[in-house]
Amino acid sequence: MKITKLLVANRGEIAVRIIRAASELGIKTVQVYSAADANSLAVEMADEAVEIGPASAAKSYLDIDAVMKAAKDTKADGIHPGYGFLAENADFADAVEAAGIAFVGPTGDMIRSMGDKASARKAAEDAGVPTVPGSDGVIDDMEVAKVLATSIGFPVMIKATAGGGGRGIRVAENAEEFASLAPQASAEAKSTFGDGGLYLEKLIDGARHIEVQILGDGENFVHCYERECSLQRRRQKVWEEAPSSALSDQVREKLCSSAVALAKAVGYRGAGTVEYLYDDKSGEFYFIEMNTRIQVEHPVTEAIVGIDLLAEMIKIASGEPLSVSQGDIVVRGHAIEVRINAEDPANNFMPFPGIVGDMRVPGGPGVRFDHMLYQGYQIPPFYDSLLGKLIVHADTREAAINRLKRAATELRLDGLKTTTPLFLALAEDPAVQAGDVHTKWLEPWLEINSDKLASKGDD
């Protein structure tokens, strides 16, 4: 069923990105919004806009009935969920399809099997993809889990099956900590994700985060190579790049084919990301989770392989077969994305929702800035702090870092504190320049380098 009118069930920069992709495909758009987002760029850009509730996400962007009503009232025949909010909600995907509307993503059942992190581990094992040593499925009995944790070897990670965005994770150094942290993690997961289920994983120390972009139409499956997202704060990515500078061609081939094997095993439909930890000392990689949606950092892949992933997703949901085969997908150059958040890096990343004053958007060769801003825009304090993503692409990694410095210097957002100074400082760091980082590298660096994080010039 060809999509002719697409409802965007999200907000911020990704809503803008979806509207752009739809518009280039000749598809009309409907933007749903909360009362706090009435003045958003996405509302301004979409063909139609429908208010679906108050600022609270629970009563707007997460309200399935409100979104479905807007879709029916506007006769939308497709819904794109973006990331976060309802993007990995299987009941939402089912409700959309039951209403005869195309869901731009996998089926509810695929989300059920891959979105629950414990069952996804099982699916990965069944497909022959290596996983981190840990529990088989969800922990039901704390005493059994304690014995298992001891046999895996401390430290262990206690993870929420429904977790996401770096939340719902605890590290236990020993059995006593395990006994006190596991109930806490369960309670947090219950209140954040509505599901208190936990599982265990061995802590892989000093590993890199490397993930593989895949696309499937239910019958054909390809990968679009990897992204490395090792620079993280509180287990959230802040700087992502493609390709990874840590992989040999041989490991790259094994890693990417394992992601395709998993996609094939579940008959995957849509865009997805298979996330791994990679230990560059042993050369081993371990599956950690699959995200059954578009990811924040998708533009670095678009840059190196020249594929519009959003357009591809919409076409798959319209029933078209994949437009690319594996042999067509060739990597060119190196891309880096940094997350421009409304946060003050000099003040422990305190959120800084303000009014955008004069702004200057970077441009020139190899520069892309996906954002939700305009002059005079008041950033609502109710949602996450991502304002935009600065993406650079160049022939080599070194040239991409130089381009990042140039573009980040051009970016001016008067009236706000943003994470831009962090990226200027990171781009000057010898370890970052050498690509010698891992998921626990950034946090201690931030402690030592706090003096480099104050914004220069106008505040």
User: Active-site residue numbers?
Assistant: 293
- Strand-pair category, 412-413 with 102-103: unpaired
Q: How many residues bind Mg ion (CB under 5 A)?
A: 1
Q: Which of 232, 292, 420, 455 binds ligand ADP (CB under 6 A)?
A: 232
Please, which of residues 275-314 interact with Mg ion by CB under 5 A? 275
- What CA–CA distance (Å, rounded) separates 40 from 359? 16
Nearer to ligand ADP, 74 or 270 (CB): 270
Contacts to Mg ion from residues 248-277, by CB under 5 A = 275
Residue 235 in the binding site for ligand ADP (CB under 6 A)? yes
Cβ closest to ligand ADP, residue 208 vs residue 252? 208
Q: Rule CB under 6 A: say whether 280 interacts with ligand ADP.
A: no
Residues binding ligand ADP: number (CB under 6 A)? 31
201 interacts with ligand ADP by CB under 6 A: yes
Among 53, 78, 81, 84, binds ligand ADP (CB under 6 A): 84
**C-beta of 186 vs 318, nearer to ligand ADP:** 186
Q: Is 83 in the site for ligand ADP (CB under 6 A)?
A: yes
25 sits near ligand ADP (criterion: CB under 6 A): no
Q: How far apart are CA 282 and CA 289, in angstroms?
A: 21
Residue nearest to ligand ADP (CB): 164
> 274, 290 in Cβ contact below 8 A?
yes
Instruction: Please identify which residue in 237, 368, 371, 397 interacts with ligand ADP, judged by CB under 6 A.
Output: 237
If DSSP states are collapsed to H, E and C, what string results for the chain? CCCCEEEECCCHHHHHHHHHHHHHCCCEEEEEEEHHHCCCHHHHHCCEEEEEECCCHHHCCCCHHHHHHHHHHCCCCEEECCCCCCCCCHHHHHHHHHCCCEECCCCHHHHHHHHCHHHHHHHHHHCCCCECCECCCCCCCHHHHHHHHHHHCCCEEEEEEEEECCEEEEEECCHHHHHHHHHHHHHHHHHHHCCCCEEEEECCCCCEEEEEEEEEECCCEEEEEEEEEEEEECCEEEEEEECCCCCCHHHHHHHHHHHHHHHHHCCCEEEEEEEEEEECCCCEEEEEEEECCCCCCHHHHHHHHCCCHHHHHHHHHCCCCCCCCHHHCCCCCEEEEEEEECEEHHHCCEECCCECCCEECCCCCCEEEEECCCCCCECCCCCCCEEEEEEEEECCHHHHHHHHHHHHHHCEECCCCCCHHHHHHHHCCHHHHHCCCCCCCHHHHHHHCHHHHCCCCCC
Query: Which residues contact residue 447 at a Cβ distance below 8 angstroms, ignoring those fewer than 6 apart?
Result: none
Q: Find the binding residues for ligand ADP in span 349-408 (CB under 6 A).
A: 384
**For residues 167-226, which are near Mg ion according to CB under 5 A?**
none
Is 439 near ligand ADP (CB under 6 A)? yes
CB nearer Mg ion, residue 275 or residue 297? 275
For the bound state, the minimum distance from the C-beta of residue 91 to Mg ion, rounded and expressed in Å, comes to 21
How far from 356 is each of 384, 411, 424, CA to CA, in Å? Answer: 17, 13, 21
Name the segment binding ligand ADP (CB under 6 A); options: 25-33, 37-45, 289-297, 399-407: 289-297
Q: Which of 204, 263, 271, 407 binds ligand ADP (CB under 6 A)?
A: 204
Q: How far is the CB of 411 from ligand ADP (least distance, A)?
A: 20
Nearer to ligand ADP, 286 or 352 (CB): 286
| Tally of CA atoms within 13 A in the half-sphere of 190 that contains its CB | 7
- 67 interacts with ligand ADP by CB under 6 A: no
164, 306, 353, 435: residue in contact with ligand ADP (rule CB under 6 A): 164
Q: Is 132 in the site for ligand ADP (CB under 6 A)?
A: yes
* Among the residue ranges 101-109, 162-170, 259-267, 420-428, the one whose residues contact ligand ADP (CB under 6 A): 162-170
User: Residue 439: which of Mg ion, ligand ADP, none does it interact with, CB under 5 to 8 A by kind?
Assistant: ligand ADP
Cβ proximity to Mg ion, 83 vs 382, nearer residue = 83
Query: Smallest gap, in angstroms, from Cβ of residue 114 to Mg ion?
Result: 12
Residue number, 64 or 346, with CB nearest to ligand ADP? 64
Least Å distance, CB 4 to ligand ADP, is 28
Can you give the binding site for ligand ADP, defined by CB under 6 A? 83-84, 88, 132, 157, 162-166, 169, 193, 201, 203-204, 207, 209, 232, 235-237, 275, 277, 288-289, 291, 295-297, 384, 439
